[in-house]
Amino acid sequence: MVRNNINIRWLFFAGVLLLVSCSSKVYLFSSFHEPANEGLRMLFSKDGYHWKNLDTILLQPKIGLTRIMRDPSIIQGPDGTYHLVWTTEWKGGNGFGHASSKDLLHWSNQQYVPVMQNEKTVANVWAPELFYDEEQKQFIIIWASCIPGRFEKGIEDENNNHRLYYTTTKDFVSFSDTKLYLDPGFSVIDAELIKRNTNDYVLVMKDNTRPERNIKVAFAKTPFGPFENISKPLTDQFTEGPTVAKVKDGWLIYFDAYQAKKYSAIKTKDFLSFEKADNMISIPEGHKHGTVFMSDKKILKGLLTANIYKK
């Protein structure tokens, strides 16, 4: 029985490798599982719709007060290096984690980046998200933090009244001073920046206020805003962690429908009209807030091979 299971596993991955070899690029989706203490996981897909799970921990969290890894965001820089940032504490802390890799298997030493160290009362640093600014040749990192008493809170608790902040870096050694990225007049978290064209940017985010707690978008001519025309809710309540996959006929916005305990998606061609896409996608159970990015088929082959040997 053990021999048969091994043979079946090898046949499965051989089939995946053959399928992947027909395309030069694949979709990867960074992931974690609750309670977030195990580390970086990954999903893969050939079409951006149907995902399979790599049952391997690629990086275990070693930094932060509680040594967790939530909300992993990955982007590939112009030199081919993959950069990863993540949430290191659910509560407390004044920074996020960073590590880099050439193959998503072998990682640099983990780095704690204390971007809110000058804000002594900061409650958290949540969901750092990476974006590469091609024009300025720099990385932009956007996250949500709550500084109690700083902004009008509406009906939100002072420790749940978030705004978006950012820093920039060219090398992940030196970072620009932290600045306010977006104050839309309400508590906002979980933002991902998308460049559609020159002078055409879309910010996908969660309105974290009651009774909203849903996904919205806004538009700008630069990656730093100002962001305007904030949309009406695109999703139901109790949804968060949006990430965007560019597919052949538009974009898929994936998000965590956390009260329903499932991952969902909506589809759009213009970020103005949207359709539900749950019946178009398949996501492995247990997947949580990450980001979709493109990678070379050689990277996936390496991940698949490592996955086999670790089983």
The string of pLDDT tens digits covering residues 123-149 is: 999 999 999 999 999 999 999 999 999
Read off the pLDDT band of 155 (50, 70, 90). Answer: confident
Read off the pLDDT band of 156 (50, 70, 90). Answer: confident
**Which run of H or of E encompasses 108?**
none
More confident residue, 21 or 249: 249
The Cα–Cα gap between 239 and 183 comes to: 20
Is the Cβ–Cβ distance between 65 and 93 less than 8 Å? yes
The mean per-residue pLDDT over the stretch 25-33 comes to 97
Query: What pLDDT does 5 receive?
Result: 47
State residue 295 phi and psi, 5-degree precision.
-145, 170
Write out the DSSP string of 178-190: PEEEE--SS-EEE
The Cα–Cα gap between 73 and 40 comes to: 10
Distances (CA, A) of 181 to 25, 145, 163, 198, 277: 32, 11, 8, 20, 30
Q: Of 305, 215, 225, nearest to 251 (Cα)?
A: 215
| Count: domains in the chain | 1
The string of pLDDT tens digits covering residues 268-292 is: 999 999 999 999 999 999 999 999 9
Q: Indicate the SS3 state at residue 9.
A: helix
State residue 136 phi and psi, 5-degree precision.
-95, -5
Q: Choose the weakest-confidence range: 10-19, 66-75, 201-210, 262-271.
A: 10-19
Q: What tokens appear for 262 in the block?
A: 């499932």
The string of pLDDT tens digits covering residues 227-258 is: 999 999 999 999 999 999 999 989 999 999 99
Query: What pLDDT does 154 receive?
Result: 82
Is the Cβ–Cβ distance between 103 and 78 less than 8 Å? no
Q: Indicate the SS3 state at residue 52.
A: strand
Query: What pLDDT does 2 receive?
Result: 40
The enclosing domain of 186 has a CATH number of 2.115.10.20
Containing structural domain, residue 57? 2-310
